[in-house]
Amino acid sequence: DGGITQSPKYLFRKEGQNVTLSCEQNLNHDAMYWYRQDPGQGLRLIYYSQIVNDFQKGDIAEGYSVSREKKESFPLTVTSAQKNPTAFYLCASSWDNQGESFPTEAFFGQGTRLTVV
Protein backbone atom coordinates (compact mmCIF):
# COMPACT_ATOMS: atom_id res chain seq x y z
CA ASP A 1 0.00 0.00 0.00
CA GLY A 2 1.23 3.51 -0.80
CA GLY A 3 1.66 5.90 2.04
CA ILE A 4 3.83 8.09 4.15
CA THR A 5 5.53 6.73 7.26
CA GLN A 6 6.95 8.62 10.19
CA SER A 7 9.09 7.11 12.90
CA PRO A 8 9.33 6.88 15.78
CA LYS A 9 5.83 7.63 17.03
CA TYR A 10 7.17 8.94 20.35
CA LEU A 11 10.62 10.39 20.96
CA PHE A 12 12.28 11.74 24.06
CA ARG A 13 15.22 14.09 23.98
CA LYS A 14 17.53 15.33 26.66
CA GLU A 15 18.47 18.95 26.84
CA GLY A 16 21.28 19.77 24.41
CA GLN A 17 20.84 16.70 22.23
CA ASN A 18 20.14 16.54 18.53
CA VAL A 19 17.46 14.11 17.40
CA THR A 20 16.37 13.04 13.93
CA LEU A 21 12.81 12.28 12.91
CA SER A 22 12.29 9.97 9.96
CA CYS A 23 9.82 10.47 7.11
CA GLU A 24 9.52 8.05 4.19
CA GLN A 25 6.98 7.99 1.37
CA ASN A 26 6.35 5.53 -1.45
CA LEU A 27 3.79 7.66 -3.28
CA ASN A 28 6.33 8.91 -5.83
CA HIS A 29 5.62 12.47 -4.71
CA ASP A 30 8.14 15.16 -5.53
CA ALA A 31 7.28 17.59 -2.73
CA MET A 32 7.71 16.88 0.96
CA TYR A 33 7.03 19.04 4.01
CA TRP A 34 7.62 19.20 7.74
CA TYR A 35 5.11 20.88 10.04
CA ARG A 36 5.09 21.53 13.75
CA GLN A 37 1.85 21.43 15.74
CA ASP A 38 1.45 22.84 19.23
CA PRO A 39 -1.67 22.40 21.41
CA GLY A 40 -4.56 24.53 20.24
CA GLN A 41 -2.67 25.81 17.24
CA GLY A 42 -2.68 25.08 13.56
CA LEU A 43 0.24 23.67 11.65
CA ARG A 44 3.34 25.74 11.08
CA LEU A 45 5.72 24.98 8.22
CA ILE A 46 9.30 24.19 9.20
CA TYR A 47 10.93 23.15 5.91
CA TYR A 48 9.81 21.95 2.53
CA SER A 49 11.43 20.31 -0.46
CA GLN A 50 10.16 20.33 -4.02
CA ILE A 51 12.85 18.14 -5.51
CA VAL A 52 15.76 15.95 -4.49
CA ASN A 53 18.81 17.82 -3.18
CA ASP A 54 16.84 21.03 -2.74
CA PHE A 55 14.85 22.41 0.18
CA GLN A 56 13.64 25.75 1.51
CA LYS A 57 12.98 27.21 4.94
CA GLY A 58 9.43 27.58 6.08
CA ASP A 59 8.09 29.95 8.71
CA ILE A 60 9.87 28.46 11.73
CA ALA A 61 13.10 26.88 10.43
CA GLU A 62 15.40 28.12 13.20
CA GLY A 63 16.82 25.23 15.22
CA TYR A 64 15.94 22.63 12.60
CA SER A 65 17.76 21.08 9.66
CA VAL A 66 16.73 18.73 6.86
CA SER A 67 18.19 16.79 3.96
CA ARG A 68 16.68 15.39 0.78
CA GLU A 69 19.16 12.91 -0.66
CA LYS A 70 16.45 10.58 -1.96
CA LYS A 71 13.02 11.27 -3.35
CA GLU A 72 11.44 8.95 -0.80
CA SER A 73 13.05 10.37 2.32
CA PHE A 74 13.01 13.74 4.09
CA PRO A 75 14.45 13.45 7.61
CA LEU A 76 14.19 16.32 10.07
CA THR A 77 16.86 17.00 12.69
CA VAL A 78 15.87 18.95 15.76
CA THR A 79 19.07 20.55 16.96
CA SER A 80 20.07 21.77 20.39
CA ALA A 81 19.54 25.30 19.06
CA GLN A 82 15.78 24.72 19.08
CA LYS A 83 14.86 26.07 22.51
CA ASN A 84 11.34 24.71 22.72
CA PRO A 85 11.24 21.46 20.74
CA THR A 86 8.43 19.70 22.59
CA ALA A 87 5.65 19.39 19.99
CA PHE A 88 3.89 17.09 17.56
CA TYR A 89 5.71 16.89 14.22
CA LEU A 90 3.95 16.02 11.00
CA CYS A 91 5.49 15.11 7.69
CA ALA A 92 3.55 15.44 4.44
CA SER A 93 4.06 14.90 0.73
CA SER A 94 2.33 15.96 -2.46
CA TRP A 95 2.76 16.02 -6.19
CA ASP A 96 5.09 18.72 -7.39
CA ASN A 97 3.03 21.92 -7.42
CA GLN A 98 5.46 23.98 -9.42
CA GLY A 99 3.54 25.57 -12.24
CA GLU A 100 0.51 23.32 -11.81
CA SER A 101 -2.87 24.88 -12.48
CA PHE A 102 -4.61 23.17 -9.61
CA PRO A 103 -2.62 22.44 -6.48
CA THR A 104 -3.11 18.99 -5.14
CA GLU A 105 -3.67 17.97 -1.57
CA ALA A 106 -0.96 16.82 0.80
CA PHE A 107 -0.84 13.38 2.34
CA PHE A 108 0.22 13.20 5.97
CA GLY A 109 2.08 10.73 8.12
CA GLN A 110 0.84 9.76 11.57
CA GLY A 111 3.17 12.13 13.34
CA THR A 112 5.99 12.00 15.88
CA ARG A 113 5.50 13.38 19.36
CA LEU A 114 8.77 14.79 20.64
CA THR A 115 9.23 15.51 24.34
CA VAL A 116 12.21 17.08 26.03
CA VAL A 117 13.07 15.43 29.33
The residues binding another protein (CB under 8 A) are 6, 31, 33, 35, 40-43, 45, 48, 50, 56, 88, 90, 92, 96-100, 102-103, 105-111, 113
CB of 16 to another protein, least distance (A): 27
CB of 55 to another protein, least distance (A): 12
Name 70's Cβ contacts closer than 8 Å, sequence gap at least 6: 52
Distance of CA 45 to the CA centre of its chain: 8
- 2 and 27 in contact (C-beta within 8 Å)? yes
CB of 37 to another protein, least distance (A): 9
**Between residues 37 and 79, which has the closer beta carbon with respect to another protein?**
37
Helix, coil or strand: residue 33: strand
Measured CA to CA, the distance from residue 106 to residue 102 in angstroms comes to 13
**Between residues 41 and 84, which has the closer beta carbon with respect to another protein?**
41
